[in-house]
Amino acid sequence: MAETYRLFTSCLWQTTSAVVSTEQRIYLFDPAYFPHEVEAIADYVQRERNGRELILVLTHGDWDHVVGVGKFPDATVIAQKEILTDGRIEGMLNKAKKFDGSYYVARSYEVGMPRFTKLVEDAQEWQEVFFLPVPGHTPDQMATLFREQKLLVVGDMLSNLEFPFIDDSSAYLESLEKIERLVHQGEVEEVIPGHGVPAKGREEILHRIERDRQYLLDARAVVFEGIANNVEKDVLEEQFSQLTYDGVSIDEHLRSSHEQNRDQLYKEAILQKG
């Protein structure tokens, strides 16, 4: 498949910022992270724009994905509507400012509240793209499908670097199913995740979907069954610590995220038990 986009990858968490061009518009996703990286993205967009409308899409509101919006003041900014729920984006912008302050990161633009042009609620066609809410990592995560290019920009899922980071495990499983259907229907041949390298081709995309689904199912089974059977918490935690991802033990650097998943699933299981 010919390349139809330019991908910028930050040295912070390999956060990806994709620029996809169509005849009338340029779509920019999650400009990140450090000032020189955002400047490079802005320079590229300026060179390639040629009078076209700039559409800046936020895949979700996590702070590493929203910090660069202020560099593009004339962009049409689009996100999923949940990004404005309960002061979420304000809190994320404050996290970005705290990170920048802690490491003396100076920017040429303000890290402030975006002026949203469009807030997506449900799956819908818009201009050349199809917006598809895919919650699970966050309530506001949204995928964007370029039908002609068969390209899907998904946000923080289907990464080659990390297992699912869970906000809602049931919603996450449903989102994986939504994407899987698009792949089986032949509508998606390449996926750009929020961190790491793209998945190219049906086989690789389906492999990433399946390993993420298996991790979620295994993790839910340990916690939900443990809570239902009144397993002691220390025993449950030990069982959870032995889980693998794609047949490999959880990396020590991601242990804290694995434990956060355990705690989130614990809350879900308690709620289900009533």
> What are the residue ranges spanned by the domains of the chain?
5-273
Residue 4 confidence class, pLDDT cut points 50, 70, 90? confident
Q: What confidence tier does 3 reach under pLDDT thresholds 50, 70, 90?
A: low
- Whole-model pTM? 0.94
Q: What pLDDT score was predicted for residue 116?
A: 96
What pLDDT score does 272 carry? Answer: 84
Q: In this structure, what DSSP letter does residue 67 have?
A: T
pLDDT in tens, 67-119: 999 999 999 999 999 999 999 999 999 999 999 999 999 999 999 999 999 99
For residues 249 and 24, give the distance between their C-alpha atoms in angstroms, rounded to a whole number: 47
Q: How far is CA 94 from CA 11, 51, 221, in A?
A: 21, 33, 36
Share of the chain above pLDDT 70, in %: 99
Beta bridge partners, 129, equal 126, 146
The two three-digit tokens of residue 2, written as one number = 């010919």
Per-residue pLDDT tens over the stretch 194-246: 999 999 999 999 999 999 999 999 999 999 999 999 899 899 999 999 999 99
pLDDT of residue 178 exceeding 70, the answer is: yes
Maximum C-alpha span of the chain = 63
What secondary structure letter does DSSP report for 235? Answer: H
The mean pLDDT value for 126-139 works out to 96
Backbone φ and ψ for 32, nearest 5 degrees, come out as -150, 165
- Is 5-273 a domain of CATH 3.60.15.10? yes
